[in-house]
Amino acid sequence: MMILQKLQSRGVTFVAPETTYVAPDVNPERIAPGVTIHPGCRLSGAVLAIGPGSVIGAEAPATVSDCQLGAEVRLAGGFFDRATFLNGFRAGSGAHVRPGCLFEESSSFAHSAGVKQTVFFPWVTAGSLINFCDCLMAGGTGRKNHSEIGSSYVHFNFTPHQDKATASLVGDVPLGVLLNQPPIFLGGQGGLVGPSRIAYGTVLPAGQVWRGDVTAAGRLVAKPAFPDTIDAPYEPRRYGAVFPALRNNLLYIGNILALDAWYRVFRAPFMRGDVYLSACHAGARARLAEILEERLSRLDEFAQKVEHSLALGLSGSRDVEHRAFVDQWPALKNALAERVGAREALPIPGNVREIAGALPAGDYLRAVQSLPPESARIISAWLEAYPAGLVGLGDSGGVTRRVL
């Protein structure tokens, strides 16, 4: 029996089966009864999983490869490859979702969105015509109080130096997982230049490109893009300050390590016993591993480019800073790789395990939001140790100390 026919016999609805392609590597047992597949869709991948009530291609054909979908997920149309979507996620048509994406419960984006290596925490909402690659975004407490990315927003993740050590934290993991933080608002027709850190409660008004960090919570911030006219010679191989970028990269990697620990300890009990949620849990862990690999690779590329700039004599007044970074990078690179590789062996504090074990079963979001303040404080401190530990690795060689 053909794969498509097996799926139909399981109760999967194909609106126009003659227009739909299902690759032979798809496992029918991982596609839930009640799933609806609209005309022109293509499904593939041995780890593809689609949870109950999900709908694929309602607005336009969709290509879905090696993705994991929870329950009631809607992918209206576009391209989706090696991404994980938890319960209630929504994507408009024209999506371009590349590997390394993890979208948690009831997050969404509207039509014509491009994402890669992107993490949305629950309820984060993005508008249309956005490009939001290499970012983690959190904040908000529910569907009516969520972090927002306005339409036509861009996260700029490629520099004139041609490096991508540019991932940005919009919110963070140690507080974000508690689902009790003020939302963040990124106004439409705007942009964020990575690598940046944006605090909870920040409002960046529409129509501006923001450069730099916002580390104080609850601020409305705006400034002129360029107060003066610029018309000067430019050498793209010359780097300016490198320590701020290194700092933000270490903090980003540390936050991803913290999220991976959260999935192992707190998420896992809520995602067992159901083939589709289990697939999503495995998919989320795979996405985080992909992000870690990408960030380490991009940071190494950044260090090589700074070394090249230094060798060409382009560092100028930054010579001491660049040399310190280049000299310490091999040891820091090895220490980072070791820390990332050993992440599952890191001990989990007993009080953290006790809190996780005491959470009520069933509704994950409600369980987390019911945590007593002292338990939340303990969890946040545990998770904060991950990024702090990576900054400590940089400090041990004197690389980041001067900017932290």
Would you give per-residue pLDDT tens digits along the chain (404 residues)? 589 999 999 999 999 999 999 999 999 999 999 999 999 999 999 999 999 999 999 999 999 999 999 999 999 999 999 999 999 999 999 999 999 999 999 999 999 999 999 999 999 999 999 999 999 999 999 999 999 999 999 999 999 999 999 999 999 999 999 999 999 999 999 999 999 999 999 999 999 999 999 999 999 999 988 888 999 999 999 999 999 999 999 999 999 999 999 999 999 999 988 899 999 999 999 999 999 999 999 999 999 999 999 999 999 999 999 999 999 999 999 999 999 999 999 899 999 999 999 999 889 999 999 999 999 999 999 999 999 999 988 665 555 444 33
Q: Rounded to 5, what percent of the chain is helix, strand, coil?
A: 40, 20, 45
Q: Are strands 13-14 and 36-37 parallel, antiparallel or unpaired?
A: parallel
Maximal C-alpha separation, the chain: 70
Tally of residues, the chain: 404
- Is 299 within 8 Å of 165 (Cβ atoms)? yes
Angle at 259 between CA 253 and CA 263, to 5 degrees: 145
Spatial CA neighbour of 139 closest among 91, 187, 172, 186: 172
**Buried-exposed string 287-302: b where 16+ CB fall within 10 A, e elsewhere:** bbebbbebbbebbbeb
* CA atoms within a 13 Å half-sphere pointing along the CA-CB vector of 325: 29
Separation in Å, CA 327 to CA 161, 247, 315, 318: 20, 16, 14, 14
Counting beta carbons within 10 angstroms of the beta carbon of residue 365, is it exposed (0 to 12), middle (13 to 18) or buried (19 or more)?
A: middle
How many Å apart are CA 221 and CA 16, to the nearest integer?
51
Residue extents of the structural domains in the chain? 3-211, 243-403
How many Å apart are CA 393 and CA 399, to the nearest integer?
9
- Is 321 within 8 Å of 306 (Cβ atoms)? no
Say which amino acid occupies 330: P
User: Per-residue pLDDT tens for 147-174?
Assistant: 999 999 999 999 999 999 999 999 999 9
Say which amino acid occupies 232: A
The gap between the terminal CA atoms of the chain, to the nearest Å, is 62
> CATH assignment of 3-211?
2.160.10.10
| Percent of the chain residues topping a pLDDT of 90 | 92
User: Per-residue pLDDT tens for 316-368?
Assistant: 999 999 999 999 999 999 999 999 999 999 899 999 999 999 999 889 999 99
